[in-house]
Amino acid sequence: MFIKEIIDNLKTKFLISEGEIAEFQNINKIYPMKISKYYLNLIKEKNDAIWKQCIPSIKEIEDLEGIDDPLFEEKDSPVPLITHRYPDRVLFLISDTCDMFCRFCTRKRKVGINFSINDEDIDEGLQYIKNHQNINDVILSGGDALCVSQQRLTKIIFFIAELKHVSIIRIGTRLPCVNPKRISKNIITTLTSLKFQLDKNKKALYMNIHFEHPDELTDESIEAIRKIANLGIPLGNQNVLLKNINDDVDILKKLYQKLVANYVKPYYMFQADLVKGTHHFKVDVDKGKSLIRGLQGFISGLCIPHYVIDAPDGKGKIPILPKYEIDENECVIKLKNYKNEISIYNKI
């Protein structure tokens, strides 16, 4: 659904004003709107956690902070569609669209605006991966990597499966969250075929998904997750810490416990990137550390993600931890646990 249909739906359900409609239209000229009908129907009331992720805010175009590409993906792009920052892995942008344009997207500069992918750029990306023997891990993203045609996805993964130096492929998608009906029999058949091909070549297929709030874990989305998990594809969740959406320890506990109960490992909790148009989503880093402290020890370690800042200027992901070490010297380290109990550990 694009802007006209979205506005018609919002008029009917939430009685939005003419002023709000004008705001949406103005924002859409700079940062387009796109929402699946499924996700739009998850909104319970204006400005709830679902609304804020998919409905534009005037703050997006009033925001004077941040830059279009704070992670310097373009700087680290040796050929179109490839970002090669770490020695052993690359990001490969194989998709130019999503089923929903998240308002906090790190690639807000691209998706839905001026980003298109052609077969020649895909082939150049594949040749780059082939020619760099140090690449062990390829992350397929976009856009949403499952929004490409199954023919393109198959071509890419079958090609990479034959490369001796690559052992891991990761697919990045938000479809199980924003439009779980698209995890269809056809996609499951394709994923089954791809996993079989990778298994045959002793490679591993992983999937990174994106759930930000427990209200997104509906019966339909859980069914989609379990279809993928039942193929033997390990699932990891990457959520962004978002102000007034999930910056609450009880919300995060519920989200992470529900994910783990459905075969999804919470992998990363990202501090919001410094993307132009998204400053209103930013949570104070000290609060982020306190949220991790509120999780550690109170829920299973399986449920706790790495809290990371994807550093500006392309310096990569840096883990952020609460301070559990109180003091240390050459011989001992003094530690505080989740109950604030003190322990002394002999280092040597």
Backbone angles phi, psi at 318, to 5 degrees: -125, 120
Q: Show the CA angle centred on residue 263, arms to residues 262 and 268, nearest 5°.
A: 105
- Confirm if 278 and 284 have CB atoms less than 8 A apart: no
Q: Are residues 37 and 142 in the same domain?
A: no
Same domain, 47 and 71: no
First to last CA, the chain: 62
Sheet of 168-172, strands arranged across: 82-86, 89-93, 137-141, 168-172, 204-209, 235-240, 264-270, 306-311, 316-319
**Residue-level pLDDT at 347:** 81
The DSSP bridge partners found for residue 317 are: 310
Whether 167 is in a domain gets the answer: yes
Known catalytic residues are: 85-86, 89, 98, 102, 105, 107, 273, 310, 317
Answer whether residue 284 is part of any domain. yes
Same domain for 287 and 191:
yes
Residues 99 and 234 in one domain: yes
Same domain? For 229 and 260 the reply is yes
- Helices 285-295, 249-260: axis angle to 10 degrees equals 50
Rounded to 5°, the CA angle 318-322-327 comes to 110
Q: What percent of the chain has pLDDT over 70?
A: 100
Q: Which residues of the chain have pLDDT under 70?
A: none
Q: Are strands 235-240 and 204-209 parallel, antiparallel or unpaired?
A: parallel
Contacts of 66 (CB under 8 A, 6+ apart): 274, 275, 276, 277, 278, 279
In this prediction the pTM is 0.94
Judgement on whether residues 154 and 47 belong to the same structural domain of the protein? no
- Is 82 domain-assigned? yes
Give tens-digit pLDDT for 264-308.
Answer: 999 999 999 999 999 999 999 999 999 999 999 999 999 999 999
Sign of the CA dihedral 215, 60, 179, 119? negative
Residue 242 lies in a domain: yes
Question: Do 10 and 20 fall into the same domain?
Answer: yes
The average confidence (pLDDT) of the chain is 95
Q: What are phi and psi of 35, to 5 degrees?
A: -145, 135
Tell me, yes or no, whether 336 lies in a domain: no
On whether residue 338 sits in a domain, the answer given is no
Q: Which domain holds residue 229?
A: 64-322
Model pLDDT, residue 253: 98
Kindly state whether residue 330 falls inside one of the protein's structural domains.
Answer: no
75 located within any domain: yes
* Buried-state track 60-84, b at ≥16 Cβ within 10 A, e below 16: beebeebeebbbbbeebbeeebbbb
Q: Give the residue from 63, 110, 117, 67 showing the smallest Cα distance to 95.
A: 117
> pLDDT tens, 100-150?
999 999 999 998 887 899 999 999 999 999 999 999 999 999 999 999 999
Largest CA distance in the chain: 69
**Do 188 and 198 lie in a common domain?**
yes
The CATH code of the domain that includes 263 is 3.20.20.70
Query: 226 and 118, same structural domain?
Result: yes
Residues 43 and 164 in one domain: no
Task: Supply angle C-alpha 43, 49, 55, rounded to 5.
Answer: 65
29 and 72 within one domain: no
Number of domains in the chain: 2
